[in-house]
């Protein structure tokens, strides 16, 4: 059996490793359009902040490691077409194009970071931030940049803005909506985020539409919005990711947004062709519907699922909760399941509850950590559907706990009575997750609030 896997990122990596484990003698060909394989883009901020000393550290596999496993790795080889009737792909290299035959094809077209279609988007030192090449250019620019404007307040924009600010640059973050990180944290958390940005010297401009990047002699002078003008010599556009699938339009079924249509088994509209990664939609537990949830964890699960099905099993892609977390200067936050950004997709009636709690007993004066929490649950069944957490302490694992609760359709009562350990250095006799659920039910009592 000959397997062709396109894309060596999370989906492709898991696909080839899954096939190799089950069928050691299989003929596996892995095609990667870049000159290096398996770059972890979600670790790129660590390179900007000198945690990772080289981008080479952010590759979880490379040409040598794949070859040692007996995988035929093809770098600088872009798959630009699929002929499902002939079971072939068209591969483009520096030497031209050729056809390659497959028995099973596993595609991870991925996405691309678009630039805003505005005057000045082609000036020098206007960057996007996706992949190794972008990471190296944005990192190199940190030596000379003085005034930086980051357009877009999602994960990527916030990460780049923080990295440049920590490096000493004057940084302005601009977003078109009323706050940054709106897809991850609801309005209740924004005062803490905004305060943290202000204290760290990160300028934030919201509800502004960028209209132009002014330049002179090819160099950036300013970023112009519908409300103001901001001096700049460097611009990073972080305005989302779009599926890189136009080359598949005549081969596979795509939806209106360009995502590859797959069924529960990650089968595409073409026989023996499977797809996953950022160019596909993911089944979301809380709503029972598919949506765009571009996370490495999801792509990894898809890689395993697609590989198993390509080998003849019948395995459904697991439903997910979109669990993610991030540090923002001295704050840490994590989220899972429903929030205000995706609430419209839920068919039932929702209740929410927000509160702030102490993580440890008050006498732990060297670590009196508070946590902001918000819970989403069905108003009739009290089944938990989503949660968000923010703190100066690392409470991010709470989102993983709540993700498990969502997956198992636990109720407020289940969480309120859940068995968590107690040690003063780590927690309270009533864990903050117990208290969150009990408060949501209106069932708190003296011992949950007095002293501890």
**Residue 264 zone, left/alpha/beta (φ > 0; ψ -120 to 50; rest):** alpha
Q: Could you report the per-residue pLDDT of 393-414, keeping only the tens digit for each?
A: 999 999 999 999 999 999 999 9
Q: Could you report the per-residue pLDDT of 24-75, keeping only the tens digit for each?
A: 999 999 999 999 999 999 899 999 999 999 999 999 999 999 999 999 999 9
Which spans in 6-90 are helix H?
A: 10-22, 44-48, 63-68
Instruction: Give Cα separations from 11 to 14, 34, 329, 345 (angstroms).
Output: 5, 16, 30, 26
Which residues of 159-297 form beta strands (DSSP E)?
Answer: 170-174, 203-205, 210-216, 219-225, 229-231, 234-237, 242-243, 273-275, 282-284, 289-291
Rg (the chain; Cα; Å): 24
| Chain centroid to CA 261 | 20
Please tell me the distance from the alpha carbon of residue 93 to that of residue 62, in angstroms, as a whole number.
19
pLDDT reported for residue 362: 77
CATH topology of domain 2-110+243-310: FAD/NAD(P)-binding domain (3.50.50)
pLDDT reported for residue 449: 53
Q: Do residues 241 and 155 make contact, with C-beta atoms less than 8 angstroms apart?
A: no
| Chain centroid to CA 398 | 18
Query: pLDDT-derived band of residue 444, with 50, 70 and 90 as boundaries?
Result: confident
Q: Do residues 159 and 326 make contact, with C-beta atoms less than 8 angstroms apart?
A: yes
The answer for residues whose C-beta is within 8 angstroms of residue 267's C-beta and 6 or more apart is: 273, 274, 309
Please tell me the distance from the alpha carbon of residue 142 to that of residue 133, in angstroms, as a whole number.
15
| Chain centroid to CA 200 | 24
**Residues found in the chain:** 452
Tell me how crowded residue 257 is: count the other CB atoms within 10 A of its CB: 11
Tell me how crowded residue 93 is: count the other CB atoms within 10 A of its CB: 14
CATH topology of domain 324-449: Enolase-like; domain 1 (3.30.390)
Q: Could you report the per-residue pLDDT of 353-381, keeping only the tens digit for each?
A: 999 998 988 777 766 689 999 999 999 99
* Cβ neighbourhood burial of 329 (10 Å; 0-12, 13-18, 19+): middle
Q: What is the reported pTM? A: 0.94
Q: Please choose, from the candidates 305, 312, 320, the residue with its C-alpha nearest in 3D space to the C-alpha of residue 265.
A: 305
Instruction: Give Cα separations from 66 to 10, 29, 190, 411 (angstroms).
Output: 14, 10, 44, 45
Tell me how crowded residue 224 is: count the other CB atoms within 10 A of its CB: 19
Q: What percentage of the chain exceeds 90 in pLDDT?
A: 92
Q: Could you report the per-residue pLDDT of 190-229, keeping only the tens digit for each?
A: 999 999 999 999 999 999 999 999 999 989 999 999 999 9
What residues are labeled active site?
10, 42
Q: Could you report the per-residue pLDDT of 120-172, keeping only the tens digit for each?
A: 999 999 999 999 999 999 999 999 999 999 999 999 999 999 999 999 999 99
Residue 452 has pLDDT above 60, yes or no: no
| Domain 126-237, CATH homologous superfamily name and number | FAD/NAD(P)-binding domain (3.50.50.60)
For residues 159-196, one letter each, b for 16 or more C-beta atoms within 10 angstroms of the residue's C-beta and e for the rest, the string is bbbbbbbbbebbbbbbbeeebbbbbbbbebbbebbeeb
pLDDT reported for residue 224: 99
pLDDT reported for residue 67: 97
Q: Could you report the per-residue pLDDT of 283-321, keeping only the tens digit for each?
A: 999 999 999 999 999 999 999 999 999 999 999 999 999
pLDDT reported for residue 450: 40
CATH topology of 2-110+243-310 equal to that of 324-449? no
Q: In this structure, what DSSP letter does residue 94 have? A: T
How, if at all, do strands 111-112 and 229-231 pair? unpaired
Delimit the domains of the chain by residue range. 2-110+243-310, 126-237, 324-449
């Amino acid at each position: 059996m000959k397997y062709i896997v396109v894309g060596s990122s999370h989906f492709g990596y898991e696909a080839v490793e899954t096939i190799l484990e089950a069928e050691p003698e299989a003929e596996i060909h892995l095609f990667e359009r870049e000159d290096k394989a398996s770059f972890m883009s979600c670790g790129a901020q660590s390179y900007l902040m000198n945690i990772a000393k080289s981008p080479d550290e952010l590759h979880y596999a490379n040409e040598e490691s794949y070859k040692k496993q007996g995988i035929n790795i093809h770098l600088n080889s872009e798959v630009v077409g699929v002929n499902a009737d002939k079971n072939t792909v068209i591969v483009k290299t520096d030497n031209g194009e050729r056809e390659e035959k497959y028995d099973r094809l596993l595609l991870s077209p991925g996405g691309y970071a678009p630039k805003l279609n505005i005057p000045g988007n082609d000036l020098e030192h206007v960057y996007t931030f996706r992949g190794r090449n972008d990471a190296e250019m944005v990192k190199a620019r940190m030596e000379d940049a003085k005034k930086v404007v980051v357009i877009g307040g999602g994960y990527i924009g916030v990460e780049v803005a923080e990295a440049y600010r920590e490096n000493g640059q004057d940084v302005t973050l601009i977003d078109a909506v009323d706050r940054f990180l709106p897809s991850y944290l609801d309005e209740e958390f924004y005062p803490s985020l905004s305060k943290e940005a202000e204290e760290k010297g990160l300028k934030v401009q919201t509800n502004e539409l960028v209209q132009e990047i002014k330049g002179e002699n090819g160099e950036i002078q300013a970023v112009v919005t519908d409300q103001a003008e901001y001096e700049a010599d460097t611009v990073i556009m972080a305005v989302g990711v779009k599926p890189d699938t136009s080359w598949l339009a005549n081969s596979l079924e795509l939806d209106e947004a360009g995502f590859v249509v797959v069924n529960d088994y990650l089968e595409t509209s073409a026989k023996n062709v499977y797809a996953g990664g950022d160019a596909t939609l993911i089944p979301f537990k809380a709503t029972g519907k598919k949506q765009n949830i571009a996370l490495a964890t999801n792509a990894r699960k898809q890689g395993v699922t697609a590989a198993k099905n390509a080998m003849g099993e019948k395995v459904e892609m697991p439903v997910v909760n979109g669990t993610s977390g991030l540090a923002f200067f001295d704050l840490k936050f994590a989220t899972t399941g429903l929030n205000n950004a995706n609430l419209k997709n839920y068919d039932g009636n929702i209740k929410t509850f927000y509160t702030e709690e102490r993580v440890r007993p008050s006498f732990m004066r060297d670590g009196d950590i508070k946590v902001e929490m918000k819970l989403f649950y069905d108003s009739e069944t009290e089944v938990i559907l989503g949660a968000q957490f923010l703190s100066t302490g690392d409470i991010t694992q709470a989102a993983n706990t709540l993700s498990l609760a969502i997956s198992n359709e636990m109720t407020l009562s289940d969480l309120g009575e859940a068995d968590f350990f107690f040690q003063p250095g780590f927690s309270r006799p009533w864990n903050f997750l117990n208290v969150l659920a009990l408060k949501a039910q209106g069932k708190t009592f003296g011992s949950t609030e007095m002293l501890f």
